[in-house]
Structure 1
Amino acid sequence: MRKISVSAVMFLSVVSPALAQQSQEQQIELDPVTVTASRAERSVSDIPQSVQVIDRQEIDKQLQQSSSASAALAKLVPGFSVSNQTVSGASESYRGRDLLVLVDGVPLGTPLRDVSRILSLIDLNSIERIEMVAGASSLYGAGATGGTVNFITKKAEPGKPRISVNTALRAFTANAVDSVAPELSASISGKAENGLDYVLSGSGYLGRRTYDGSGWELPSDSMLGQGGGDRFGRVNLLAKLGYDFDAAKRLEFSAGWYYFNQTPRYMTDYSGAYARPDYRHPYTGQSVLEDTKSLSLRYTDKDFALGSLNIVGFYNNIKKRFNYSTFSFPYNSQVYYSFDPANPTSPDNQTTLYSDRGGVNLTIDTPLDTIWQGAKLTWGSDLIFEKTHQTLTNGQDVFTPLQQVTSAAFGQLQVPLTDRLTVRGGVRFEHFALDVDDFTRPAAYAAVASSRDPRGYQDFVLPALRVTGGKFSYSKPTFNIGGTFKLTDTSEIFGGFSQGFALPDVGAYTRRAGLSLAYACPVARPNCLPAGTSISYASISPEAQVVNNYELGIRGSHDRFKGSLTGFISTSSKGVTFDPITNTISQQKEFIYGGEFTGEYAATDQLTIGTVLGYREGRYDSNKDGKLDSWLPNNRIATPFRGTLYASYVFDNGVSVRVEGEGFSGRDKAIDLKGTRYKIKPGATMNVALSAPVKGGEAYVSVDNLFDTRFQNPTATSVRNLPVYSWGRTVTLGYRKTF
């Protein structure tokens, strides 16, 4: 432990009301602020990238307004997009790129078929802190081209068992009776003197109808097949058992279950000016489902012969079922075919993704004091096996079953060159061995715009097509180097270069193989292709997309102010978008740039004001001639500028009030050389939260979208370039207590 003043606490950890009430000169005891950005614990002041640590007290404040992890990140992290308010992570990005989501350092994604839902399903009640590291990184493998977020679950404290309960009711004022949604979370934890400890946590949520700011009911599948935010049940379970052999050696087992089941009542109408429920057509498909189970076993030894040892074995079993949808031009112009032109959608036009992923991660943190005082080398290796397939409801594969073995080795060196200057650099080498099975892609029905047809489109049949697979391998090294320079004891300049990579969405490519007019047939002759027509997966030529990140910033605190200012550039020369015309992955250049600012000022011992501001924009090479000629599409960057301004006041009796305003800019950019534009409208809203101590616990009430403003959700709108409206005014009543 070290003794510092409140004014010296790193700005990266969001200040709690309790800290805000401390006099700036009062001495308090705090643990050093550390994160696991380099696979080993490091002080924030040594990391040459933008970092934010969201502590438990700030998480509690966010839970007063929403149980969504993506909503919390949208308010607190300047580079994160506006939450799309559904179970899906579609178009939710960080600095215009992918965000790698970890829980206790274990990834829960499906890289071979990139379908993101896990962020919206994480139970914030079970989280102790959130570590967000901006910029490209490959230290945890693929996926962190924009940044990495690690949700650290709660740990048991010594002493008698502790029980925590949080319950809430949330409702839309447009229709409180039909929208009221209950939530309940409970946990128990304890640590015995014999070294055994446990954390058991469970949460249940029921979602009902949702409404926009004009009181209109929102659809259950606004983003076409992604899943929604209404009429669902959700369960989160966490069990952690640990044993300390001594002060240095520990064994910990963890099991988590993330479950979501949505039962839409109506189909969604995509033909109007915005997505809305189609009350004429009841929903006829199976429920929308997420059933993810995760197991991990971790062993740590701080007295290991080579330094500090951390080895983790994990296994994820994932099942994701998507919405049933029917043909609707132009937003759903491609469906699996029923061979009935009058009703072209197959009754089996609903898919389920299955993925098994397991692996072992080895990390060793070796001190090099004998060579250079304070130097450390973090090194290790990873071995991951994954198997993924996706089927229609009749069991037919919609893409080729895939298996991949990933092996990697890495090394990260940190050297304090002087008392003020610390440099870090490293390399990671990754090898992918991919097995692609042969399969037959099911027949599809598709339409393209046509002014000659009174319907506004011309329809085709894409006959069942054989896709041949094979065995493929590809490798990729990535590098990073950077440094931090201390200006004062409480501030520093940081900057550097880092690389990360994204894997091609192999499943999506084989699912779309041959979905072009080159393999199309007229509706009257749906099987016109010559017998034996096939496509080879080898023509897709999968490669990882390497992203280069350049970052420069300053962070720190002075007197009652703490803040950060960061500028970044992100570039890549290869894409991950499949081109169905050529059956290849597009290789366009991309260039993203932006700036971020966070600031907080303790005006008095009771009043704190702050802001979170972010700007990002990007261009790409649309015709692959080497020139950046167009703006990135809205599903990458929907709102260049967004920010939050807040103020909180803590009364002497413990009552706390928080008022915040959220706003984002619109966007109207040409995304190709034809000048195609899909306008995103700007929007703004205000939120208020009030909490008070009651009978040893905390009662709270909050109002989101205080003025019930109707505005488009930019992230949801950008998925299909179809307007989707944000939630209207919601009220939350809750109570939490720890025994």
Structure 2
Amino acid sequence: MMYLAVLLALIPASAQADDDKDMKSIERITVTGSRIVESLDEVPASITLIDQQQLQENLKVSSELQNLLALAVPGMAPGTGSTSNFGQTLRGRNVLVMIDGVPQDTPLRNGGLGIRTLDAASIERIEVVNGATSIWGNGAAGGVINYITKKPTENAANVMLSQSVRSSLVKTKDSLGYRTVVSVDGTEGKLGYVTKLSQEKYGVQRDADGDILGLQYGLSDSQQRDAFLKFVYSLDDSRSMQLSYNYYDSAQDANYRDVPGNIDLGGKTYAVPLTQGESAPGAPQGPEGNYNLMAKYQDNELFSHTALVVDAYSQKIDNVFFWSPTLANPEQGFNGGQSAILSEKDGLRAVLTSSVALGQLDATFVYGLDMLQDVTSQPLLDQRIWVPEMDMGSHALFVQSKWELGDDWTLKAGARNESVSVEVADYTTLKLCTNAQTCSTPFAVSGGEIDYDATTYNAGIRYRLSNAFSPFVSYSEGFEVPDLGLLLRTATVKDISLIQSEASVVKNYEAGFSSELDALYLNIAVYRSESELGTGSQLDKTTGIYIPVRAPQKIWGYEASAEYRLSDAWQFSAAYGYTEGKDTKNDIYLGARQISAPKLTSSVRYLPTADLSFSMYWLHVFNRDRFMPNTQGFYTGDQGPVHSYDVLNLSANYQFNNWQLFGGIENVLNEDYFPARSQSFRYGSGYSVKGIGATVNLGVSYTF
């Protein structure tokens, strides 16, 4: 809370600025790519914008943001079908998830839960920067996903009530769930406000055979709650102050147990009801109560041709994971265990934007300071320490420039210097046993301080030859501290300085073009990224535990997306993404923790009248088979083969007066499939879970 207190003490009375753009003008602009508002045709990089129409169409089918991102972003791995985005990379690298520029991930111990941190009803649009970026610093090696939250309307008060129900179409028993959303927004004088409360309760999730999906990271019998508040206060035309708060929790409290299945033998993991007298081990899994408190001060005329934006934020994360028998220690009486990632962050960001004319050149400079304090740990709920407390302090100075070279050329270049220091006290690694005979050896590790310092650069140029052909080339470096908690908990040395904990600088090269030909909008890009010290995993046969492996990596791929408006009634879109990568030291392909199978997505929208609309989204995942099984015929780690599958979703919406009726069907053809992650991940039976079968969602909303 320190940075928030400092900001609130220093900020004078202020005014709202630049928040009144209509939705049409927002559709082709971004603030994420370079931390200022700019048109997409000025950006020498691939950026995906997910607008309010796409959000609403997908909300009619499912509120899961994982699914939406997999359908909309060519380089994004397919959805996992669970609460976890572990393995859902962007262009084969970790992605930084943000809410209005505030990071939601826990990079010191990456639990793969960053995507589900905000209810989709609070989001105005999503901006995705594809590929490594030095603009935002640590964690953005694969790109950035930025949830831009809703802004107040100009009305005195706009109230919306929405209620929907959800059920399996294969077998309805115990599958009924509901979703409730209440929102109020508007403007009273100089004060604008947005308030939104949502609650969603899932029944059991069933696959195409009607069986209950496995519970690890599952949604069956889970409940999510979200509260979002935003206040914008204005005194004049150039200055504004904004305060927002988001609270999110989720818990799966299911009276079921898993029946393990081995996917190599054609089996699946599914759940069955507990028998009389049987109880589920451990506590409910999910975020126990994560919050973000954010304050912003904006002055569009700090002095001549210079604007200032200052953001301060405080965040608390408490993510509880599933109970696992691999966290056992029979000597101490533990037959398993359950961990939680705890993280507390305080951050401050100050950004100045100056516009200058240098002869015939128009230039814009974006420069400033980022500061962050992050304390993260991963204890077990039974009080054993698995990952000790890591106390990180970081600060970064950055400058980004944009040069308008005549009417046709835009040149961008910048640099960022980041200094990170992590302190860890002395600790002892846990003795963990997969069975009575297979246990890890605990090590007493002397703590200390780990320091990182790196300067990363970026440069790119776009040539607007015509609407029909606007090519670009770019080079950008991303800085990434490794998953330090994973390295600490598997340490086999007696001093922290001996752990291979060096950071990586990811070098990203990209070329592409965009075209706008009457009703057709097209984007194509090819890319390559390199890192001298990536992170993979390898099974230790002695202990039965997967340990991290650091090795140089090379990743490459290409993407294409297209939108076509046949008429006012018919709209089409499609996107294809291909990513591949290798461990260049050993000349072997990278596994599915990083590299996903190629995928093709497409959508059709039909709007026969102004009040009625239909949409269809189709996902096709292609094969990826790069690895050989072991001598027993089984695959290990993240090296399982992926076989192709298809998922088709439908939705419809009808508006009359203040009422809206809507409905959607997920997996309308009831495809019987394992999601790509389930096929490739062989870390245990908990991942061998099939995709959801045909599921219907019906609802009504009223606005007044």
Code of the aligned partner of 1:428: R
- Residue 211, structure 1, aligned to residue 206, structure 2: yes
1:649 corresponds to which residue?
Answer: 606
- Residue 429, structure 1, aligned to residue 417, structure 2: yes
Q: Residue deviations 1:75-132, cap 9 Å, x none? A: 1111111111211111111111111111011111112111121312421111111111
1:408-447 equivalent positions in 2, closer than 5 A: 408-446=396-434
Q: Distance in 2 between matches of 1:665 and 1:133?
A: 24
Would you say the 8 A contact 1:680–1:714 is kept in 2? yes
Give the 3 Å change call, closer, same or farther, for CA 673–474 of structure 1 in structure 2: farther
1:511 corresponds to which residue?
Answer: 489
Q: Distance in 2 between matches of 1:664 and 1:443?
A: 40
Q: Distance in 2 between matches of 1:191 and 1:31?
A: 23
2:291 corresponds to which residue?
Answer: 293
Give the 3 Å change call, closer, same or farther, for CA 689–460 of structure 1 in structure 2: closer
Q: Distance in 1 between matches of 2:439 and 2:152?
A: 59
- Residue 338, structure 1, aligned to residue 335, structure 2: no
Q: Distance in 2 between matches of 1:466 and 1:372?
A: 65
> Which of residues 303, 326, 334 is equivalent to 2:301?
303
Q: Residue deviations 1:645-687, cap 9 Å, x none? A: 2222111363212233221112110289999752212101222
SS at match of 2:680: helix
Code of the aligned partner of 1:730: T
Q: Residue deviations 1:346-370, cap 9 Å, x none? A: 1561112211111101111111214
1:635 corresponds to which residue?
Answer: 593
Would you say the 8 A contact 1:267–1:325 is kept in 2? no
Q: Distance in 2 between matches of 1:258 and 1:394?
A: 24
SS at match of 2:34: coil
Q: Distance in 1 between matches of 2:193 and 2:369?
A: 29
Q: Distance in 1 between matches of 2:26 and 2:416?
A: 34
1:530 corresponds to which residue?
Answer: none
Give the 3 Å change call, closer, same or farther, for CA 30–511 of structure 1 in structure 2: closer
Give the 3 Å change call, closer, same or farther, for CA 294–671 of structure 1 in structure 2: farther
Q: What TM-score does the superposition give when structure 1 sets the normalisation length?
A: 0.85
Q: Distance in 1 between matches of 2:430 and 2:599?
A: 43
1:254-293 equivalent positions in 2, closer than 5 A: 254-272=244-262, 273-277=267-271, 282-290=279-287, 291-293=289-291
Q: Distance in 1 between matches of 2:185 and 2:610?
A: 29
> Which of residues 686, 704, 724 is equivalent to 2:666?
704
Q: Residue deviations 1:252-307, cap 9 Å, x none? A: 11111111111132333435332222657742211113021111111010101261
Mean Cα deviation higher: 132-141 or 724-733: 132-141
Code of the aligned partner of 1:262: Q
1:550: Cα distance to partner? 1.1
> Which of residues 368, 384, 388 is equivalent to 1:380?
368
Q: Residue deviations 1:359-412, cap 9 Å, x none? A: 101111111214663201111111111111222222221122110101111111
1:23 corresponds to which residue?
Answer: none
1:30: Cα distance to partner? 7.7
Give the 3 Å change call, closer, same or farther, for CA 425–584 of structure 1 in structure 2: farther
- Residue 599, structure 1, aligned to residue 565, structure 2: no
- Residue 402, structure 1, aligned to residue 396, structure 2: no
Q: Distance in 2 between matches of 1:94 and 1:710?
A: 26
Aligned-pair Cα RMSD in Å: 2.5
Code of the aligned partner of 1:635: R
Q: Distance in 2 between matches of 1:702 and 1:564?
A: 29
Give the 3 Å change call, closer, same or farther, for CA 114–278 of structure 1 in structure 2: same
Give the 3 Å change call, closer, same or farther, for CA 29–438 of structure 1 in structure 2: closer
2:579 corresponds to which residue?
Answer: 616
Give the 3 Å change call, closer, same or farther, for CA 362–172 of structure 1 in structure 2: same
> Which of residues 494, 511, 514 is equivalent to 1:552?
511
Would you say the 8 A contact 1:90–1:716 is kept in 2? no
Q: Distance in 2 between matches of 1:30 and 1:539?
A: 50
1:631: Cα distance to partner? 1.1
- Residue 670, structure 1, aligned to residue 669, structure 2: no
1:116-135 equivalent positions in 2, closer than 5 A: 116-135=112-131
Gaps of 5+ in 1: 1-17, 20-27, 222-226, 327-333, 448-457, 515-533
> Which of residues 449, 463, 471 is equivalent to 1:485?
463
Q: Distance in 2 between matches of 1:370 and 1:191?
A: 41
Would you say the 8 A contact 2:487–2:501 is kept in 1? no
1:211-250 equivalent positions in 2, closer than 5 A: 211-221=206-216, 227-250=217-240
SS at match of 1:285: coil
1:364 corresponds to which residue?
Answer: 352
Q: Distance in 1 between matches of 2:261 and 2:68?
A: 32
1:31: Cα distance to partner? 8.2
Q: Distance in 1 between matches of 2:489 and 2:378?
A: 9
SS at match of 1:83: coil
1:486: Cα distance to partner? 0.4
Would you say the 8 A contact 1:638–1:666 is kept in 2? no
2:15 corresponds to which residue?
Answer: none
Count the aligned residue pairs. 662
- Percent of counterpart pairs with the same letter? 25
1:344-355 equivalent positions in 2, closer than 5 A: 346-347=334-335, 349-355=337-343
Give the 3 Å change call, closer, same or farther, for CA 168–303 of structure 1 in structure 2: same
Give the 3 Å change call, closer, same or farther, for CA 673–725 of structure 1 in structure 2: closer
Q: Distance in 1 between matches of 2:114 and 2:352?
A: 29
> Which of residues 689, 693, 704 is equivalent to 1:724?
689
Q: Residue deviations 1:566-602, cap 9 Å, x none? A: 1111221111347797999643221212111111222
1:538 corresponds to which residue?
Answer: 497
SS at match of 1:299: strand
1:72 corresponds to which residue?
Answer: 68
Q: Distance in 2 between matches of 1:585 and 1:119?
A: 23
Give the 3 Å change call, closer, same or farther, for CA 295–285 of structure 1 in structure 2: same
Q: Distance in 1 between matches of 2:251 and 2:312?
A: 29
Would you say the 8 A contact 1:311–1:360 is kept in 2? yes
Q: Distance in 1 between matches of 2:528 and 2:385?
A: 40
Code of the aligned partner of 1:406: S
Q: Distance in 2 between matches of 1:138 and 1:653?
A: 43
Q: Distance in 1 between matches of 2:279 and 2:622?
A: 36
1:480: Cα distance to partner? 0.6
Q: Distance in 1 between matches of 2:113 and 2:513?
A: 33
Code of the aligned partner of 1:289: G
1:559-574 equivalent positions in 2, closer than 5 A: 559-574=518-533
Q: Distance in 1 between matches of 2:26 and 2:133?
A: 29
2:7 corresponds to which residue?
Answer: none
1:538: Cα distance to partner? 1.0
Give the 3 Å change call, closer, same or farther, for CA 630–84 of structure 1 in structure 2: same
1:324 corresponds to which residue?
Answer: 323
> Which of residues 496, 501, 508 is equivalent to 2:479?
501
SS at match of 2:497: helix
- Residue 141, structure 1, aligned to residue 131, structure 2: no
Mean Cα deviation higher: 317-326 or 710-719: 710-719
SS at match of 2:692: coil
1:201: Cα distance to partner? 0.8
